[in-house]
């Protein structure tokens, strides 16, 4: 299904902003619209999970940045959700997307959850031909990325 991913991101950011009084969600985009071919409900679910994590794992911080941009390939969409929170220590990196994985960082800060969010995100992204990955520095924050295949100019 073809839809405008920029409009979807805007809508999800607005909705998630209403769930928090502690964080300001900042949206950056490099295009006014970007049509991709994916399942918009799934993309919404993925993004909701990523933003919920960013808020939850940055207690005491004020902002979360969301960027939606055209990827280098020129037709893939790249969405990044960046927080300035507790970060993920390197020894946990390999397990972040595992089913029922709750990181030691979450436990250490007493942050609750079931450990399913990112497992589900990975399933849903890959089922749509996309990729999910992250960068993180302990004590400084994390950025989670998803890349979704665009509507090929040839199709
Ligand atoms: P759920 O999302 O099911 O409520 P959860 O947030 O613990 O629970 P995931 O979203 O799958 O589960 O994340 C897995 C683990 O990865 C978390 O327990 C946490 O240790 C770590 N993690 C995920 N996102 C972040 C983030 N933005 N900053 C720091 N750690 C994170
Ligand atoms: Mg989660």
pLDDT averaged over 10-residue windows placed end to end, the chain, 155 residues = 96 98 96 93 98 96 95 84 98 95 93 96 96 97 95 59
- ipTM over 0.85 threshold: yes
Ligand 1 pocket: which of 23, 109, 115 to mutate (most atoms within 8 A of CB): 115
> Looking at the DSSP assignment, which residues form a beta bridge with residue 144?
81, 134
Residues with CB under 6 A from ligand 1: 53-54, 57, 83, 85-88, 96, 101-103, 105-106, 113-119, 142
Q: How many CB atoms lie within 10 A of CB 70?
A: 17
For the chain, the first-to-last Cα distance in angstroms comes to 13
């Amino acid at each position: 299904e073809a839809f405008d991913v920029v409009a979807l991101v805007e809508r999800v950011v607005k909705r998630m902003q209403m769930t928090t009084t502690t964080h300001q969600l900042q949206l950056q985009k490099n295009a006014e619209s970007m049509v991709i071919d994916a399942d918009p409900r799934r993309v919404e679910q993925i993004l909701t999970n990523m933003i919920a994590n960013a808020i939850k794992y940055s207690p005491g911080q004020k902002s979360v940045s969301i960027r939606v941009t055209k990827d280098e390939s020129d037709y893939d969409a790249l969405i990044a959700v960046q927080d300035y929170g507790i970060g993920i220590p390197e020894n946990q990196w390999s397990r972040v997307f595992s089913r029922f994985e709750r990181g030691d960082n979450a436990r250490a800060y007493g942050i609750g959850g079931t450990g399913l969010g990112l497992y589900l995100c990975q399933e849903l992204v890959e089922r749509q031909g996309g990729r999910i990955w992250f960068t993180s520095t302990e004590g400084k924050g994390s950025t989670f990325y998803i890349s979704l295949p665009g509507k090929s100019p040839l199709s």
